[in-house]
Structure 1
Amino acid sequence: MCGRYASTRAKQELLEEFEVELDGAADDELRPDYNIAPTKPVYAVLSRVPGSGPEGRPVRQLRVVRWGLVPAWAKDPSIGSKMINARVETVAEKPSFRAAFAKRRCLLPADGYYEWAVREETGKGGKPGKQPYFIQPADGGIMAMAGLYEFWRDRGRPEDDPRAWLVTCTIITTSAEDELGAIHDRMPMLIERDRWTEWLDPGVPDAREFLVPAGSLGLKAYPVSTAVNSVRNNGPELVEPVSEGRGDGRALL
C-alpha cells in the first residue's frame, strides 16, 4: 500500500509542470509537507467541464482535496480513512471506486513516497523491526501518482454552505517489481507525462488499458530515519538518507 508520501513543490511550480489552466486552489495554498498521511489535504490535478467552460471541454485544474476517498453513497465521511488506496486489480469493479474510475481520475503530485521493509533483526518486544525507505524519481522530477477523486454531500448542511461538499481522493496501487518489490510488494501506479491528458479526460470511460503492472520506472530507493513513523514529525530531515539499519534519527518535533 501507499500510506505516506511527500509533496513539497510550490503551487506555482505545480501549475506550470502540469500545464494547469484553472487554479482551483487559489484561496487554499498548501505548505510543503514531508510526511503526508491519510485525511490530510493534498493537491490533485484533474480535468472537469466547468459550467461556463469554453465549448464545454474539460479544463485541467489544480484542486485541494482530502486523502481518503469517501464514496458519494457513504453515510459517514469517516469511511475515507479506510479508502486511501485502490488496488489496480479491482478498481474498475469495486463499488467504492468504479464510478470514480469511470470519470473522475486525477493525478496526485509527489516528490516521492515512503515504504517500510522488515529487518532481519528484531526490535522492541522481540518483534521484527522495520526500516523506512524513501522512493523517488532518480532524476529528482515530480512523480504523478494515479488517483481517483469523489464528491460527498453532507445532507445535514444547506447546499450553499461551503462545508456541505467534501472532495476526497485515493491513490491507485499496483504490484511492485524489481528492487522495489524487495522493499514492499505494492507501489503507487504512476502515469507517464505523455498519457496525462488521456488519463484525466472524463470523456474516456474505459481506462483499463492503464491498469498494467509497472516496473521501477526510473525510481530510486534509500533508507531514511524512523522519525517518519510519527505523523507529528515533518521537515526535510525526513527524506535525508541514513545508513542501512540506522533509522533511529533524532525526534523532529
Structure 2
Amino acid sequence: MCGRYASSRSAGELVDEFEIEEIRVAAPLEASYNVAPTDEVYAVVERPPRREADAEPEPPQRQLRSLRWGLVPSWAKDRAIGSRMINARMETVAEKPAFRKAFASRRCLLPADGYYEWYETEVAGRNGKPVKQPFFIRPKDHGVLAMAGLYEIWRDPDRADDDPDRFLWSCTVITTRAEDELGRIHDRMPLMVERERWRDWLDPTRAAGTDLLVPAAPGLLEAYPVRPAVGNVRNNGPELLEPLPLEQVDP
C-alpha cells in the first residue's frame, strides 16, 4: 500500500513540471515530508475551465488543485469513510463501487518526491512483534514521482447550498504489485504514470480501460532506509529523507 509520502515541490514548480494551465488552489500548501491520510495534497487534473452560463463549452484544461487524501465516494453518507480509501488496487479499480465512476472520468496525478514503506525485520521489539524498518523510495533521477490517482467530489448534506465548503474534493492513490527489487520491502507500490502517458491518463473524455493501467518500466526507483521518526505524523522535516547508515539498520 501507500500510506505515507513526501511532497515538497511548490505550486510554481509543479506548474512548470506538469504544464499546468490554471491553478485552482485557495492557498499554497507547505512542503510536507510526511504526508499522511486526510492531509491536503496537490493533484493534477484536467477539467473544463470556468465559463459563463451562456458560453460555449471549452476543452478540458490541465489544472493544479488541492485535494484531501482519502477518497469519499459521491454516495457516501459521511466523509469519515475517506480515511479507509487512501488506496485503490489497480486490479479492481474498474469494478469497485467506490472507485469505478472516478476511474471512468476523474483520474488525476499526485506529485510526490517519493513514498515510504516499512520492511518487517527478523528482530523482535519490546512488545515481541517484529521491528519494522522504514524505507524511502524515490525516482533514481530524483525527479517528480507522478502517482496515478482518482478524485471525487462529495456534497456535504449538512452544509447549506450557499456554503463555499459544501463540496469536498478528495483523492486516492492507485497501487500495483511491486517489482521484484522493491517487492522485498513491500508487495505493493503506487502505480507510476510516465511522462509520455500523462495526457492519456488525465483526459476525462478518454474511455477508461485496462490499457490505461500500465505499470511503469522497472528499475526507475531506488530505496534506502530512513529513521523511524517518520512513523510519527507529528514529525515533518527534510531530515526524514536523510539516509540511515547501514550499520544502524537492524538485520
TM-score when scaled to structure 2?
0.95
Equivalent position amino acid for 1:163 in 2 = D
Aligned to 2:148: 146
| Alpha carbons 2:200, 2:206 under 8 Å: kept | yes
Whether the 8 Å contact between 1:180 and 1:216 is mirrored in structure 2 is no
1:116-127 mapped onto 2 (5 Å cutoff): 116-127=118-129
Q: CA deviation at 1:178?
A: 2.1
Partners of 1:91 and 1:28 lie apart in 2 by 31
Q: How does 1:55-74 map to 2 (within 5 A)?
A: 56-74=58-76
* Counterpart residue number, 2:23: 23
Shift of 1:55: 5.0
Q: 2:115 aligns with which of 113, 116, 130?
A: 113
2:227 maps to 225
RMSD, aligned α-carbons:
1.6
Letter in 2 for 1:136: R
- Going from structure 1 to structure 2, the CA distance change for 1:245 and 1:123 (only over 3 Å counts) comes to farther
Indicate if the aligned counterparts of 2:23 and 2:64 stay in contact, CA closer than 8 A.
Answer: yes
Task: Please state whether the residue corresponding to 1:99 is helix, strand or coil.
Answer: helix
> Hey, what does 2:38 align to over in structure 1?
39
What CA distance in whole angstroms lies between the structure 2 residues aligned with 1:144 and 1:48? 18
SS, match of residue 107 in structure 1:
strand
Higher mean C-alpha displacement, 42-51 vs 3-12: 42-51
Distance 2:182 2:229 in 1: 21
Q: What is the letter of the counterpart of residue 172 of structure 1?
A: I
Q: How do 1:1-253 and structure 2 match up within 5 A?
A: 1-25=1-25, 27-52=26-51, 56-244=58-246, 246=248
Whether the aligned pair in 2 keeps the contact of 1:174 and 1:214 (CA below 8 Å) is no
Query: 5+ unaligned residues in a row in structure 2: which ranges?
Result: none
Q: Is the 8 A contact 1:199 1:207 kept in 2?
A: no
Could you tell me the percent identity over the aligned residues?
Answer: 60
Deviation at residue 246 of structure 1 after TM alignment:
2.8
CA distance, structure 2, for counterparts of residue 37 and residue 207 of structure 1: 29
1:50 CA drift (Å): 2.5
Partner secondary structure for residue 125 of structure 1: coil
